[in-house]
Amino acid sequence: MIEFVKVSGEQIAVKTLGVLDGRPTIVMLHEGLGSITQWRDLPDSIHALTGLPVLLYDRTGYGRSSANNSQYDPDFMHLEASETLPALLKQLNISKPILFGHSDGGTISLIAASSPMVSPTAVVTIAAHIYVETAVIEGVQSAVARRNLIVDGMSRHHSDPGTTFDRWAKIWLDPRFATFDIRNLLSKITCPLLVLQGDRDEYATEEMVHGVIREVPHATGTFIPECGHIAHRDQPKFLVEQFVKFLDENQLNGST
């Protein structure tokens, strides 16, 4: 059941699987056009197989959360990582988050892991962006060409799908955002890190994985076979297997 938590004056929609009891908690951060409900049954599978509590939330302006503005500034992911996410975790008494982020959510997870504001126990990213490359621009432009179809599909999951789509597309195509680059932050990540990406990701090249591995030598990078940008749609079984294996290797699996 989706509930609401007030964070920095905004109503944030959250969903919890299991009990938030002080154990490591998997915190799922959705993609740039995602929401709680668009994770499909992945959260339930993860909760069942790991034995750990899972928290999902809609960022402001997504899903059922309130919207603080209709446009993004270029630092929107840094603000999410350094302000909203830490505040939400504090509000819910989550002191040992395992960040599990997809696309923009993965980038936010990397930024959060590089700072002392969150100090995650571990991080898993799927299709995270570490800088603005041609592939992501072309992917967003392709999405804009299909805007009406995409917005129609989003209408089941978002209170204002049109605004949500336009805000996402405009910032990625904004010339001011072209210099977005978090590679200088990556070496500050000390927690266990798993970097995943589909081998057919239409929004990224392999450099989005290789670039992280170069800066974080202890990280593990894996390409998901026969998979596009949305791994929980294309290869959910492989995705869960890799995640559970990662938790086992780092002795974080609540079922063991």
Six token digits for residue 123: 């991080």
254 inside domain: no
256 inside domain: no
**pLDDT band at 255, cuts 50/70/90?**
low
What span, in angstroms and rounded, lies between the C-alpha atoms of 171 and 166?
A: 9
Range of the domain at 7: 3-249
Residue 256 is predicted with a pLDDT of 44
Residue 175 is predicted with a pLDDT of 97
Mean pLDDT calculated for residue range 17-26: 95
82 inside domain: yes
**Per-residue b or e along 114-128, where b marks 16 or more CB atoms closer than 10 Å to that residue's CB:** beebbebbbbbbbbb
Three-class SS of 25-85: EEEEECCCCCCCHHHCCHHHHHHHHHCCCEEEECCCCCCCCCCCCCCCCCCHHHHHHHHHH
172 inside domain: yes
Residue 69 is predicted with a pLDDT of 79
Mean pLDDT calculated for residue range 187-213: 98
Q: Are 198 and 224 in contact (CB under 8 A)?
A: yes
154 has a pLDDT exceeding 60: yes
Q: What is the pLDDT of residues 89-98, one digit of tens each?
A: 999 999 999 9
125 inside domain: yes
Put simply, whether the predicted model's pTM sits higher than 0.95 gets the answer yes
155 inside domain: yes
Q: What is the mean pLDDT of the chain?
A: 96
Task: Specify the number of domains making up the chain.
Answer: 1
Q: What is the pLDDT of residues 29-42, one digit of tens each?
A: 999 999 999 999 99
> Looking at residue 66, which CATH number applies to its domain?
3.40.50.1820
166 inside domain: yes
